[in-house]
Chain A
């Protein structure tokens, strides 16, 4: 190792020696030129370090995105007049009839389950966050992580075993008499809640931990009841996080596929199910690109959701840091 100067002294040296090292003022031997060179080289090397990620991203994410963008607006290759001509019919078809019902059904289910998940998740997260036993906190946190990310198929089967037509609880309590069925909109909503509530707990806990004890003490010293503290202090501070959590839950519920597929197949109209069907070939000849148009619809909705979420998250981060 010959020379390895730290950036701080050399950068001041570069500044002192007449800035920028233009060819007129600095001779090639002056310290400015090699420093600038080295720094530029470090910059390029850094970009080289990111190169694998960029290449991977371009292939893994860019190509599918292009495929959707092109496919959604062109006729598919098995169409009668050949593939590749520009058309809007995929997109209009994807917003009509059964597909529109499915899209609206998905939105309705997501909005409802996200609302219930937010309302139920908040007190549960509060109970967990203020728990005195660290082990309980960690057990619930990691358990939530498992259910929220890993849930899917296993969760669906457990529900079938529990509340399905021959499920333990269904037969045990005779729920069928009251018109209960797991394979309906409501049943699906109940199952969705089992991965949405853990997700809410995961999202809202950092915000709850950010609530200062002093705020509560100050409120108590001023004679506020617990209700008043929550109404006037805690909830207003938490509001952006809560809304953000709601939006995130909406997104998760909207994108969910595994649970519904394992449980009800495509008997309940949901956009993700429709896409799955379209991709497995259950569509008319010549409409192969319909699935891509449906995917585009979904991405548009998801982007709208994110456009609401990101600013909210930034606002709550400002308060609770």
Chain B
């Protein structure tokens, strides 16, 4: 709800804030920015150094330029499997988040806009599921999947990823806020079916919220390491995070500089998505967190 209230407070006068307090505040903020940006800066600088020099020098400034050569080596390692991993990650996250958002939207919209038996129970289960550590489902899921021979099958990653209790919760909040009952009633008077009303009115009005849910879920699936690491033994099916950790653990077989470069390349798409879609993120987080 506070996605809107965020902007409500008027800009306060600039005059206050003494020189000392200003210096103290800016010094602390500067220090924190150094802390947060240091590892990312090191990653960027190291990846542009000529191959093999990743760990020489202070690590804080550029030295020679070998980014393209490094990427070529990355592509050459193990028959170009790195790009296969990237594609896997994009597919798992894209498909998982797309279906998950669709299912969340349907369920959240129904919970917000209809009164039906079992509504309270469903919403209670959704809230409880948000609060249970997700990792705890992973071990029994692995056992269940091996029981039905779904190990080394992309479905073993996709099926659990599609379920998003947090997505249902968010779309319920957003549907309650943004879709007025009167508009739905008008649609019914025009003789439209409920599914058609949902598609034509509900989805359209909830669209910014749905983008948020998609993003959240995309990153959550990209971040999930334990599940794919357990259910995908075949390295041609693994997402990039699992692949890179495998490389890192095999210090002899894969030179560590490749892990550095692979880390940078694997992080770039997420960073770009983040910077481009900032306002959606903030709206989603605050809607979920501030009541």
Are the chains A and B members of one assembly? no
Interface residues of B (CB under 8 A from A): none
